[in-house]
Chain A
Amino acid sequence: MAMYIRVKRSKTTYFIQCDPTEKTLEIKNKLHSLIDHPVHDQRLILVETGDVLEDSKTLADQKVENDAVVALTLRKDDNEFEDVNIVKPSDFYQSRDSDGGSNW
């Protein structure tokens, strides 16, 4: 195995095995087999830089390295892509504290 990336959306992280020479589109194809959204409804963003990954470029070209965190956003009903939404455990604690733990 050459490398892996962590694709995150909301509270879910997908560990995707890949190769630096693979193109973004191939990653989207792999995601398509895990989630039910077709490749053209997916947008991948390298979290470190905020760059949107282009389908035809390779991971190496776009400085996506081993263990990189990539945000997945999906196309909404109005044809626009949603904003990056990655929930972190610390955010979760804060929100739980702020509502006084009433969900328990």
Chain B
Amino acid sequence: MTKEETVKLISSEGFEFVIDKKAAMVSQLLRNMLSSPGSFTETADGVVNFPDISTTILEKICQYFYWSLQFSSGKETEFHIEPELTLELMMAANYLDT
């Protein structure tokens, strides 16, 4: 794991989440950003700002990325979502194409 293999996602409050590119690729939006050379400044820096996503939701999303990797490799656990987060999380998931 090196810096080049990670991306930094920044929430609306300026909190930073450093995750593996492989995990970020669970999101179709991030996959497109990270795998299209030249078209996004995000590709070069490995930093993506989400001014519309709150810290709590962004962390949940990152946890989901990793859960999804675990699930696809055969480790079937439940993904717990607090009821009060559901709506915001769905909107973020829709945006991220996840």
Interface residues of A (CB under 8 A from B): 1, 3-4, 6, 11-17, 30, 33-34, 66-67, 87, 89, 92
Write the residues of chain B forming the contact surface with A, with a CB cutoff of 8 angstroms. Answer: 1-3, 6, 11, 13-20, 23, 54-56, 59, 62-63, 66, 69-70, 73
Give the nearest-CB partner of A18 in chain B. B1
A-B contact count (CB 8 A): 55
Q: A1-B69, A4-B66, A67-B63 given as contacts; is B15 within 8 A of A87 (CB)?
A: yes
The answer to whether A34 and B54 touch across the interface, beta carbons within 8 angstroms, is no
B15, B62, B63, B73 pick with most chain A CB within 10 angstroms: B15
Q: Contacts A1-B69, A1-B70, A13-B15 known; A30 to B23 CB distance under 8 Å?
A: no
Known: A11-B13, A33-B3. 9 other contacts (CB 8 A): A1-B73, A11-B14, A12-B16, A15-B18, A15-B19, A17-B1, A17-B66, A89-B13, A92-B15
